[in-house]
A and B are shown apart, each in its own frame.
Chain A
Amino acid sequence: MTHSLRRLALVVLVPLLLAVPASGVTPIAHREVLPNGIVLLVAERPAVPIVVVRAFARAGAVLDPPDQAGLANLTGAVLTRGTAKHTGPELDSAIEFVGGSLSAGAGRDGLTTSVAVLRKDLGLGLDLLAEVLLSPTFPPDEVKRKTAQIQAAIKRSEEDPGTVGGRALAKMVYPNHPYGVPVEGTVESVAKLTRDDVVRFHAANVRPDTTIIAVVGAITVAEARREITARFGGWTPPSAPAATVSTVGPAGGPRSESIDKQLTQATILLGRQAIRQTDPDYFPLAVASYVLGGGSASRLYSRVREEGGLAYAVYSYVNPGRYGASFVVSAQTRTAEVPRVVQIVRDELVRLTREPVTDRELKLAKDYLIGSFPLRLDTSAKVADFVVAVEEQGLGLDYADRYKERVAKVTAADVQRVAMKFFAPDAFNRVVVGAPAP
């Protein structure tokens, strides 16, 4: 009933992968701004009769007031639980009866509402999408129910060393920024949230002038414009300006934390602030990260896993958001080997600062980052996620092409220069989740 994979599927890499390149010359999507400020992105993929829609509102957890951690997340969770026309169960039945899906959820930067339907059910799908975005009623009993579920999910997530470690690391990397606070909040912070808070958050932050709607699949630009305008054209922004969030500030000195759990394996996380795609050094950093821990030919994979047999999972990645970025190295190893694995990671970080990467490694990293691009855009859902990400991060729909050019230009000297900037091991925060060393 279960599968054992050779390698851990690196779901966590998605933010990086989204930043990877297109090779085509035609724009990946049509873009226009509707009069009320909605950015409409349309990618025609006529072959399969499905349509995927993502509505990204800039209403992520970064907008949670300091004493209301988890508010965006709760708002997202309750968004599909009742509208002026339908109860939550009615919405569920309506979309599922046609084999479609409707969901909403908040992340750090935004609140995304998604619909996927067969082409023939597009009208229904868009009607429901408009309902949940524009006229959610946040029924009190649904707010209560979701609050309890979120609290239980937070409690259960304490079982997962990766989640526990990730939370602790985020706090160290972003000590004075909302990125350091878990999107879902804490059991205590969620307990204090009320329906009024949710209503206010939605009214202030889910608004057309900071919303991107991507429509991808068996639909033309003209159809998409007509259907979206018909349902969202009358949506007006609130008079107050959209909330702004500062970019991440300096983190201060690196910190270290051990979190005791009765586990047979320790999860090691090293992390620090890094840079976003708008910084020219991002591209050498992406290459450096790939050489260090990006794939099955990376230095960490070779030394820690292939040669050392010390871990099943070991990798590094850059995790850029709208307001800041981090660089993280992660490994899971048996309790007794924690010092050895940490030492290998430190050695390899240092090595990248002291000597240039080999031509072979450089070529491999660049060829992979550039060449794997078509795989990242081979379904309508992936295209929708990609175009939303580049739009939201202000990278432009031609980002894919520029990325390719930028990566192609990276030299071994660039990699070493950027490594010297970001890979000094003593600048990393460190979290170890597991049993204390014997």
Chain B
Amino acid sequence: MRPLLIAMLLVVVAAGAAAGQASDRVVAATLDNGLRVLLEEDHRSPIVSFQMWYRVGSRNEARGATGIAHFLEHMMFKGTPTYGQGQFARLVEQNGGQDNAFTSQDVTSYYVNIASEKIDLVIDLESDRMQNLKLDPKDIASEREVVIEERRTRTEDDPGGFLGEEVSSIAFKSHSYQAPIIGWMEDIKRITPEEIRAFYKTYYMPNNAILVAVGDFKATDLLAKIRAKFGRIPKGPPPPPVLAVEPPQNGERRVIVRKQAQLPIVYLGFHVPNQKSPDAFSLEMLSTILSEGRASRLYKRLVYEQQLALEAGGDYNYFSHDPGLFWFWGTPMPGHTPEDAEKALLAEMDRLKREPVTDEELQRAKNQVEATFVFQEDSVHRRASLLARFELIGGYAEKDRFVDRLRAVTAADIQRAAQTYFPDDKKNVGVLLPKP
């Protein structure tokens, strides 16, 4: 459903903002086994956010085994010889901590937020499950059913999730961004314990991971503890690269699905470059101008002025490992059709191509991004996540340059980006029509 989609998009948008001169507060190290460690002290509260980021996601999956990265993420909580089934959660909770994990296209991330005096426990648990996962076939069998239920919640019974999958699957014909993160149902049912074990062995190793901690600790002490525990884990062979390059799109692609729903939904997706392109900053600003707040273009025009959409927005993922999609979405109000919403979205794109955004819009977007950076500083969890996200795309210190690069974007840059990346004849369109 859209609330989910939008909540997740917001996470990405929020992650697009980071703090000023943060990098000099970070203690960074790479252990001999390749584990990258980023530590930042923050003594305001007696807590720590401890995060493990593995450079593996649905992007690394083979056809026929989609969803295996996410399946493995579930299995990471099912125990090792030292800490058996359920022990991870029990120990974290018993120590007043909170933990969770997520899988995306590019990464799998685990976090524990906990009183900083309990940090030794977390180091112990995380270093243990990096190499010693049991992966008992019986546990895999029962967890498979849990993942299937998760897919039912997120996709089968959720109109927005359902449509999103369909659009991705037509937008990509070669690259693994084609497949849903949770995997196709057929693959979830089929994946074998041997495949999960092989996947774990291939990607879960110190040289494919980033450890980030922000909170109330002394960085030099913590680094010594991390070295002692994680340093023992042997380095693995480099994981195989993802070779697929998505070929240029040659024409419009469109999918129409009918599903029990109350309102139609329209998604549009355009292939765009990722952060390796200088245009990424223009696209990031464009996303803010289109969608951030009630003064943003799509809300103001489609929701407020024209009153033809209940919701409308656009989103760009600056952090995408490989080039992905710039998404647009709209939910037509009752009495309006998906065609109305699609036309209105396209009209806004057309306007972006024809005329530069106003000075006010551009300045507002820059101020919003800068403020978001400051707001994020308030949370150790968000700060740690942001360091990891920048590290994943080339280095945490990029965070410092990010705002300056955004500040340099001009209205002409944005107009050129819109002209280049939103060609009317190369769009991917998904329409969900409610079935009574």
Please name all residues of chain B whose beta carbon is closer than 8 Å to the beta carbon of A245 when the two chains form the complex. Answer: none
Spot the interface stretch: B127-135, B202-210, B278-286, B363-371.
Answer: B363-371
Residues of chain B within 8 A (CB-CB) of A312 are 146-147, 149-150, 152-153
Q: In the assembled complex, which residues on chain A have CB atoms less than 8 Å from the CB atom of B182?
A: 4
Residue A306, interface by CB 8 Å: yes
Q: How far is the CA of A204 from the CA of B325 in the complex (A)?
A: 50
Q: Name which of A309, A363, A381 has the most chain B CB atoms within 10 A of its CB.
A: A309
Q: Among the interface residues B4, B113, B310, which one has the most CB atoms of the partner chain A within 10 A?
A: B310
Q: How far does the alpha carbon of A374 sit from the alpha carbon of B215 in the complex, in Å? A: 12
- Smallest distance from the beta carbon of A358 to chain B beta carbons, Å? 12
Output the nearest chain A residue to B185 by Cβ-Cβ distance: A264
The answer for the CA separation of A291 and B408 in the assembled complex, in Å, is 54
Q: Does B277 contact A (CB under 8 A)?
A: no
A1-20 contacts to B, CB under 8 A, are 1-9
Residue interface mask B377-389, A partner, CB < 8 A = 1 = 1111100000000
Contact with A along B113-137 (1 / 0, CB 8 A): 1110000000000000000000000
A66 at the interface (CB under 8 A from B): no
Complex: A61 Cα to B182 Cα, angstroms: 38
In the bound complex, residues from chain B placing their C-beta under 8 Å from that of A302 are 86
Q: Contact: A1 with B334, CB < 8 Å? A: no
Contact with B along A28-68 (1 / 0, CB 8 A): 00000000000000000101111000000000000000000
Chain A: residues with Cβ within 8 Å of the partner, total of 75
**Contact status B260-A261, CB under 8 Å:** yes
> Residues of B contacting A157 with CB < 8 Å?
262
Given contacts A302-B86, A310-B149, contact A378 B379 (CB under 8 A): yes
Which one of A9, A155, A368 lies within 8 Å of B262 (CB-CB)?
Answer: A155
Cβ of A90 to closest chain B Cβ, rounded Å: 9
Using an 8 Å CB-CB cutoff, how does the interface string of B96-122 with A read, 1 for contact, 0 for none? 111011111100000001110000000
| Cβ A379 vs Cβ B157 within 8 A | no
The answer on a CB contact under 8 Å between A49 and B374 is yes
Does A156 lie within 8 Å of B260, measured CB to CB?
A: no
What are the residues of chain A within 8 A of B9 when measuring CB–CB? Answer: 1
B271 adjacent to chain A (CB < 8 Å): no
**Cβ contact within 8 Å between B152 and A264:** yes
Task: Check if A265 sits within 8 Å of B157, measured CB to CB.
Answer: yes
Residue pairs across A and B with CB atoms within 8 Å: the count is 229
| Cβ contacts A378-416/B at 8 Å (1 or 0 each) | 111100000000000000000000000000000000000
B-contact bits for A359-377, CB 8 A (1 contact / 0 none): 0000110011011111101
Chain B residue nearest to A80 in the complex (CB): B294
**Cross-chain contact A96 with B294 (CB below 8 angstroms):** yes
CB atoms of A309 and B157 under 8 A apart: no
Across the interface, do B1 and A3 meet the contact criterion of CB distance under 8 Å? Answer: no
**Which of B5, B46, B300, B367 contacts A2 (CB under 8 A)?**
B5
Given A3-B8, A312-B153, A334-B152, also A297-B310 (CB < 8 A): no
Task: Convert B139-170 into 0s and 1s, putting 1 for each residue whose CB lies closer than 8 angstroms to a CB of A.
Answer: 00111111111101110111101001000100
A152 part of interface (Cβ distance < 8 Å):
yes
Complex interface: chain B residues within 8 A of A98 (CB): 367, 371
Bound together, the chains give a CA A380 to CA B152 distance in angstroms of 36
- Please report the C-alpha to C-alpha distance between residue A215 and residue B417 in the assembled complex, in whole angstroms: 42
Contact of B370 among A8, A88, A99, A261 (CB under 8 A): A99
A6, A50, A98, A373 interface centre (most CB from chain B within 10 Å): A6
A-B contact pairs, 13 of them (CB 8 A): A1-B9, A2-B154, A50-B378, A88-B294, A92-B300, A99-B370, A99-B371, A152-B334, A155-B262, A160-B3, A261-B260, A309-B146, A372-B96
Which are the 5 A-B pairs with shortest beta-carbon distances?
A371-B96, A99-B371, A309-B145, A296-B89, A309-B142
